[in-house]
Amino acid sequence: MPSAKEILRKFTELKTLPHVAIKVTQLVNDDRSTMQDFEEIIKLDPVLVTRLLRLVNSPYFGLSQKVESISKAVVFAGMKQLRNLVAAEGLRGLFKGEDADFSAPKLWMHSATVAILSGMIAKRIFGKDGEDVFLAGIIHDIGLIVENQIAGEALREACKAYREGKGTLIECERNAIGADHAEVGYLLTKDWGLPQEVLGSIKSHHLAKQVKSVSSTASILQLAEFMAGKMQYWAIPGPIEPLPPELTEHVKEKMADYKIIIRDLPGEMVKAKELYESDE
Amino acid sequence: MTEPTFDAIFEDLIDANAELQSFLAILDALLPEASMLMVSESGAVLDGARPLAVALPVREKMARDARGTDGFITGKADNGTRCHAISLAKFSAVLIISCTASPEDDWEPGSAIAALLRNTLELALYRQEREMLVADHEQSVRQISILQQQHGKLIEDNYRQYRLNQDREKEYARKLESEIAKQTAELREANVRLEEISRLKSDFLANMSHELRTPMNAIIGFSELLSETPLAEEQLEYARTITQSATSLLTLINDILDLAKIEAGKLELEHLPFDLAEVIDNVVAMFKIPAREKGVVVASTIDNRIPKRIIGDCNRLRQILINLAGNAMKFTEQGGVDIEVAYERSAAGRIVSRFSVRDSGIGIPADRVEAIFEKFTQADGSTTRKYGGTGLGLAICLQLVELMGGHLAVASEEGKGSTFSFVIPLEEAPAEIISLQERKEACREKTGGGGKILLVEDNAVNQRLASILITREGYEVEVASDGTEALEHLRHQAFDLVLMDVQMPNMDGMEATRRIRAIEADPALRQDYVGLRDLKQPLGIVGLTAHARKEDETACYESGMNGFLTKPIIKAKLTMILGEMMPGISSPKDNEPS
């Protein structure tokens, strides 16, 4: 059975992020970079420019004035928001094709929901900037896309086993494929220059225990993953794995907060649709 | 997708009674004297802080009845007090309450106590809802604070980027400066290199010209001598043609040498008094014969405000005027050539004068005016073939005039003629200095007085030529072929003058001269030299060199020579210098051995 690394070796479609995404990620990590630098990069991709302008002018930003210049849009969006937009733009195209056992578009919707939920939890409950968890949400299941392409049959077997309750998804994947999507996803993205927190959260998002403090990217992602699954935003039907007990305790304490988040989620999804919705 | 609810998502952790319990707690706090219990939808019983015991059948009946109405259902507790049940739609539960403060009161709908309890219940409900509102508010506050942080960060970022941009700009400016400095340095270096190359070329040219002059010496000298021998008419014509051709070739070589010297920055102007009118007359005289042949008139005028005797380089001034007049003559078929020296103004003790050479010749097309000052260029290529000339003349004039502090200009109209002019400051010569010309004239009177000359020359052809020329002047000549031989001659014979070639094998002219002067200065040594021992003043030594540069002349004088003659030897110049330096009839022979 192939290991995660062997699966990755066969995966040709997305060894690295698209050029623009790499540049933008580098710029985010470089504190000597300026908005002009971002502008220069974004300009190279007309699709991205359109996306950016639409996003900045969408209810997600809720600006009173219409933004028409790239430079202004870049400033309004901010560096990390730009990075997320570029990453979403780069990955969206991969989430294609569906059948009874596995639906890539559904997985994309799941990723978007997890991303938005994570952002909301980070901002509304922990009062911290939600851009990194958003990115984690967008890419956390990329490993499934890799498996789908390299070991489609085996993945379907795993899905079937999972649906039939023969173990957690991770267990079923390991049995059928020899690797799991959390590991594959982590290995794929670890050289993309993303924050370490984001990479770690990809690896741990299916763990049955809490890995770090409740406010960490990893915990927020686990929570969002659980909530999105419960909301049926999920590509692979099957029993939802329970939340780690520490996180359950946390939700119990913040019940009112989570009620509000669940209440507001549909509105936020509509507002942010420029970030994840396809033009097609 | 269905609208998800919290309960649906977190069904596992929902304790259905938790909410009831919290409501009971709120109500307990609001009604400190009441005791109460709650019956949930599923029939579970929750106790308040002050428990109220109601028998199961009573409780079940009360609950059932309460669910069927809006109002209160009254019943009896186990301790005999009255209690009241009311349905709470929000929780699908029934509250049973016993209020000891008002046991006998009327609990009918609309009664004061019923209304009070209802309000209290509402309040408790609101309190619970308030929890949500508070959470909502807190979330908003957190989000606002994030926005504020982001706003602050944006401003900070902006400032940081402003500074970054400033730094970058400075960096660019610095790079640009250093780039410019680098390129300037490179250009400067290239320029130095080019100047060096140009100088080397000029040096080479100058040397080459000297090499050319040496055989010219022989050609001109011997062709002149040949013309003076008895010859048939045809032979004489051949000889003259050789002379003329050689002379014009020499002129060309001299032009090239001049130009090379000017470009190498080695041309120095003399600073001696001379008679301006005489120079002008000389030039006019030169063109008298060709002018007469062509049927044109050559004339000159000098403003009388210009002093007669001035200080400067008469030879170079003459060269300029000859060149300009020669050009004018070349291109003029009718009318005439006018040389004019006009007074312009007086400034700083100098007389600023305009020299112009005007002709009525073919003129120069306007678009070629610039080009005529270029080397090797004439108004158009075809003029070279028609009128001859090297095209070097004007380039030399231009440079010479600039050396004199002026600027050569031309005004021309095609078909009507051209005027070349330049304005230079002239300095009046002090009256007491006797002009070179006068000195020469004085010398000329005493020529042909006889005497003995030692010619030191290594080249056999030049030996013969010079010997013949000297003999013709009426002097005796002895020949030595290098410095050592010359000293040997002086040991045995007396001479009136030594003509000393500078460049010779074994001992060159400079060294020989230094030795002679050393011997003269040493009374003991002197006795061994017949040619030196009885001299009352130093022996006259005239250097002969093909190097016509100022520093060559200086070097000659420094080695102890007291005369200087350039090769090829021109008969007239030799006559002059011999007349000057040889003891003639009219001058006292005080340096002759007695």
Across the range B158-179, mean pLDDT stands at 89
Interface of B with A in 344-363 (CB under 8 A): none
- Give dist(CA B210, CA B254) in Å, integer: 9
Across the range A100-119, mean pLDDT stands at 88
Q: DSSP letter for A93, please.
A: T
Residue B48 dihedral angles phi and psi, to the nearest 5°: -80, -175
Strands of B540-545's sheet in order across: B476-480, B452-456, B497-501, B540-545, B563-566
pLDDT (tens digit, 9 = 90+) per residue, A59-82? 888 888 888 888 888 888 888 888
Alpha carbons within 13 angstroms on the beta-carbon side of residue B22 total 12
Q: How far is CA A8 from the centre of its chain?
A: 19
Q: Which two tokens stand for residue B538?
A: 């130093």
Residue B36 dihedral angles phi and psi, to the nearest 5°: -155, 165
Q: Which residues of B16-31 are buried (b: 16+ CB within 10 A; e: fewer)?
A: ebebbeebbebbbeeb
pLDDT (tens digit, 9 = 90+) per residue, B109-146? 667 777 888 888 888 888 778 888 888 899 999 989 98
Q: DSSP letter for B376, please.
A: T
Of A129, A242, A266, the CB nearest to B146: A129
Domains B13-109 and B272-428 share a fold: no
Instruction: Report CB contact under 8 Å: A256, B10.
Output: no
Asked if residue B438 has pLDDT above 70, the reply is no
Task: Identify which has the larger pLDDT, A11 or B173.
Answer: B173
User: CB neighbours (10 Å) of residue A11?
Assistant: 16
Determine if residue A241 is left, alpha or beta; phi over 0 gives left, psi from -120 to 50 gives alpha, anything else beta: beta
B5 and chain A in contact, CB less than 8 A: yes
Give me Rg for the CA atoms of chain B: 62
Confidence of residue A122 (pLDDT cuts 50, 70, 90): very high
Asked if residue B591 has pLDDT above 60, the reply is no
For residue B593, the model assigns a pLDDT of 41
Instruction: Report CB contact under 8 Å: A34, B161.
Output: yes
Of B12, B142, B150, the CB nearest to A127: B142
Instruction: Report CB contact under 8 Å: B1, A32.
Output: no
Instruction: Report CB contact under 8 Å: A36, B161.
Output: yes
Q: Which two tokens stand for residue B153?
A: 């960060």
Domain that holds residue A80: 4-276
Closest Cα in chain A, distance from residue B29 (Å) = 21
- Give dist(CA A235, CA A221) in Å, integer: 17
- Give dist(CA B543, CA B294) in Å, integer: 42
Across the range B267-289, mean pLDDT stands at 84
Asked if residue A154 has pLDDT above 50, the reply is yes
Residue B22 dihedral angles phi and psi, to the nearest 5°: -70, -35
For residue B368, the model assigns a pLDDT of 78
Contact residues for B19 (Cβ-Cβ < 8 A; gap 6+)? B91, B128
Across the range B178-188, mean pLDDT stands at 93
Q: Are strands B93-99 and B297-302 parallel, antiparallel or unpaired?
A: unpaired
Across the range A102-106, mean pLDDT stands at 85
Across the range B390-403, mean pLDDT stands at 82
Given the cut 0.85, state whether the ipTM is greater than it. Answer: no
- Please spell the DSSP secondary structure of B419-478, one letter per residue: EEEEEEEEEEPPTTSPPHHHHHHHHHTTTT---EEEEE-S-HHHHHHHHHHHHHTT-EEE
pLDDT (tens digit, 9 = 90+) per residue, B464-488? 888 888 888 888 898 998 899 999 9
Are B443 and B283 in contact, with CB atoms under 8 Å apart? no
B460 and chain A in contact, CB less than 8 A: no
User: CB neighbours (10 Å) of residue B569?
Assistant: 21
CATH of domain B272-428: 3.30.565.10
- Give dist(CA B478, CA B78) in Å, integer: 172
Of B13, B142, B161, the CB nearest to A124: B142
Of B5, B154, B158, the CB nearest to A262: B5
Are B484 and B241 in contact, with CB atoms under 8 Å apart? no
- Give dist(CA B443, CA B434) in Å, integer: 13
- Please spell the DSSP secondary structure of B197-237, one letter per residue: HHHHHHHHHHHHHHHHHHHHHHHHHHHHHHHTS---HHHHH
For residue A15, the model assigns a pLDDT of 57
Q: Are strands B409-413 and B417-428 parallel, antiparallel or unpaired?
A: antiparallel
Are B425 and B352 in contact, with CB atoms under 8 Å apart? yes
Task: Give the whole-number percent of chain B exceeding pLDDT 70.
Answer: 87
Confidence of residue B102 (pLDDT cuts 50, 70, 90): low
Asked if residue B188 has pLDDT above 90, the reply is yes
- Give dist(CA A149, CA B25) in Å, integer: 57
Q: Which among B574, B531, B580, B475 has a CA at the least distance from the CA of B515?
A: B531
Across the range B254-279, mean pLDDT stands at 79
Of B10, B145, B150, the CB nearest to A78: B150
- Give dist(CA B326, CA B359) in Å, integer: 11
Instruction: Judge: domain B436-581, CATH 3.40.50.2300.
Output: yes
- Give dist(CA B486, CA B454) in Å, integer: 8
Task: Identify which has the larger pLDDT, B479 or B203.
Answer: B479
Across the range B158-169, mean pLDDT stands at 86
Q: What is the mean pLDDT of chain A?
A: 84
Confidence of residue B104 (pLDDT cuts 50, 70, 90): low
Identify the CATH class of B13-109.
alpha beta
User: CB neighbours (10 Å) of residue B282?
Assistant: 14
Q: What is the CATH number of the domain that holds A127?
A: 1.10.3210.10
Nearest CA in chain A to B155: A75
Closest Cα in chain B, distance from residue A239 (Å) = 13
Mutate to test the interface with B, among A56, A124, A252 (most CBs of B within 10 A): A124
Instruction: Report CB contact under 8 Å: B135, A260.
Output: yes
User: CB neighbours (10 Å) of residue A174?
Assistant: 17
Confidence of residue B160 (pLDDT cuts 50, 70, 90): confident
From chain B, pick out residues whose CB is under 8 angstroms from the CB of A247. none
- Please spell the DSSP secondary structure of B321-350, one letter per residue: HHHHHHHHHHT-SSSEEEEEEEEEEEETTE
B518 and chain A in contact, CB less than 8 A: no
Across the range B19-28, mean pLDDT stands at 82
pLDDT (tens digit, 9 = 90+) per residue, A179-227? 899 999 998 888 788 888 899 999 888 877 766 788 899 999 999 988 8
Element (DSSP H or E) covering residue A53: helix A46-56
B594 and chain A in contact, CB less than 8 A: no
Residues of A with CB under 8 A from a CB of B: 31-32, 34-36, 75, 78, 123-130, 227, 230-233, 242, 248, 251-252, 254-262, 265-266
Amino acid at B32: P
Instruction: Report CB contact under 8 Å: A255, B4.
Output: no
For residue B173, the model assigns a pLDDT of 92
What Å distances lie between residue B425 and B271, B311, B312, B314, B422, CA to CA? 13, 10, 10, 14, 10
User: CB neighbours (10 Å) of residue B158?
Assistant: 13
Give the count of domains, chain A: 1
For residue B28, the model assigns a pLDDT of 84
Residue B453 dihedral angles phi and psi, to the nearest 5°: -120, 135
Mutate to test the interface with A, among B12, B133, B142, B158 (most CBs of A within 10 A): B142
Q: How far is CA B364 from the centre of its chain?
A: 34
> How is chain B split into domains, by residue range?
13-109, 272-428, 436-581
Contact residues for B314 (Cβ-Cβ < 8 A; gap 6+)? B270, B272, B274, B279
Across the range B22-44, mean pLDDT stands at 83
Asked if residue B585 has pLDDT above 60, the reply is no
Are B357 and B337 in contact, with CB atoms under 8 Å apart? yes
Of B131, B149, B150, the CB nearest to A256: B131
Alpha helix (H) residue ranges in A102-240: 104-120, 131-139, 142-150, 152-163, 169-176, 181-189, 196-204, 217-230
- Give dist(CA B240, CA B76) in Å, integer: 167
- Give dist(CA B400, CA B396) in Å, integer: 6
Confidence of residue A10 (pLDDT cuts 50, 70, 90): confident
For residue B390, the model assigns a pLDDT of 58
For residue B446, the model assigns a pLDDT of 44
Asked if residue B397 has pLDDT above 50, the reply is yes
For residue B245, the model assigns a pLDDT of 82
Alpha carbons within 13 angstroms on the beta-carbon side of residue A45 total 19
Instruction: Report CB contact under 8 Å: B142, A266.
Output: no
